[in-house]
Chains A and B, each alone.
Chain A
Amino acid sequence: MFELDVRSRKPIYEQLTDKVKEMILHGILQTDEQLPSVRTLSQQLTVNPNTIQKAYRELEREGYIYSLQGKGSFVAPMKKEQNEIKKAEVRAELLRLMAEAVYLGFTAAEISSLYEQVEKQREGGESDD
């Protein structure tokens, strides 16, 4: 379920925490879903179990996961601030794309029509459920 880039300069421990956070923020890992045990993940990824333990501890400290004695680690309910982090990420991404759009000559009206288009799709999608 996780793939690490062993050639990356980024420490494995950081890759792990970032990956789990990303999966929680994107809803791939659901609230209360169990994470693989340190032992299992260590064997799957061929990663030092101490590194995985450390990543889990850090995630717990930051409130992304919680652990139950003898049962394992689980995804914590998403908190408001995590939502804010996600929003900040999207905002940065939008700004980057928007800068490109403005450079290419998009008008404010065109951009706002895109917003309306997405919103319409979303409403349509919801009525289908």
Chain B
Amino acid sequence: MIEIRGVSKLFQGEKAVDDISLTVRKGTIYGLLGSNGAGKTTLLKTLAGIYSPDKGTVKVEGEAVFEHPTTKQRVIFMPDSPYFFPQSTMLQMAAFYRSIYPSWNQKRFEDLGTVFQLDKKRKLSRFSKGMQRQASFWLCLSCMPDVLIMDEPIDGLDPVMRRQIKNLLFQEVAERELTVIISSHNLREIEDLCDHVGIMHGGKMLIEKDLDDLKADTHKIQVAFRDERHEIPLAAKLQILHQERRGSVNLYIVKGDRERIKAAFQVYEPYVFDLLPLTLEEIFIYEMGDVGYDAQPILL
């Protein structure tokens, strides 16, 4: 279990992470989303014990992380751009990781060689971006960590490798309750991968929830009323996040129980009534819109 309590981190007086509390249960795949500069990477690095928090505490299985090698041995941080020693090969990097992580599993490293078909003797700097990404996954997964923290891990990988890596992660989660924390802007991927998500903006956590609950809680409704006056009493009955009119069709984003919302609309027997679950991307955009961060309709 990972517990973050009231963590703040400042850079030259500017708050990158502002009083964030968060609990990630063991065996969870947690997706960290947010606007650019929201503080995702800072939070992840604090979590991994690379930064020390200016305020608050970060604990993994009840132990602090920063400057605690015994805790750090169970945590792996995969940065947004893979880093290897200059001129090193896969075998040399594997030897280094083996010396750092006592949980290193040599058999697993060799087994994974059938998945990641990379030349172990070739210099890593000569690999493509996607192949370097595969190399990092190979090293990280061979370390058998309890907590895997990844900053933007998915880009650069081809669809076959994405599926392969997802399957590997799911296997680790199912078998040894690996805890995974991922930051990404690829919301489609996050939607397929994670069971919990948190959305950050300006150093704060806007929303933090079980992904299915989040999706079951917000709905998109398209409705064409028999009489325009019907829309007035609805506003009082429902929690409407967003509303717009497109011709004779009204679009609503409503929070609440699906059946109750359905019943509220169907009283008026509208001509058209469609209730759809929101995608994660839509949830993200409407939540951001709520705090004044949205796409401006500007033509330049």
Contact = CB atoms under 8 A, between A and B. Distances in A.
B216 A11 contact: yes
Contacts of B175: 39
Contact of B215 (A11, A47, A50, A54): A11
B285 to A, nearest CB: 15
Contacts of A48: 29, 170, 173, 192-195
B167 interface: yes
Given A9-B279, A13-B212, A50 B171 contact: no
Contact of A50 (B28, B276, B277): B28
A13 B215 CA distance: 11
Interface string A37-51: 011001100111111
B170 A43 contact: yes
A50 B216 contact: no
Interface size class of B (residues with CB under 8 A): 20 to 34
B171 A39 contact: yes
Interface in A1-18: 6, 9-14
Contacts of B27: 50
Classify the secondary structure of B's interface with A.
Answer: helix
Contacts of B216: 11, 14
Contacts of B91: none
A46 B165 CA distance: 10
Given A11-B215, A11-B277, A13-B212, A50 B192 contact: no
B195 A42 contact: no
29 contacts: A6-B192, A9-B276, A9-B277, A10-B277, A11-B211, A11-B216, A12-B192, A12-B212, A13-B212, A14-B212, A14-B216, A38-B174, A39-B171, A39-B175, A42-B174, A43-B167, A43-B171, A47-B192, A48-B29, A48-B193, A48-B195, A49-B173, A50-B27, A50-B28, A50-B29, A50-B173, A50-B195, A51-B212, A54-B212
Interface of B: 27-29, 163, 166-167, 170-171, 173-175, 192-195, 211-212, 215-216, 276-279
Interface of A: 6, 9-14, 38-39, 42-43, 46-51, 54
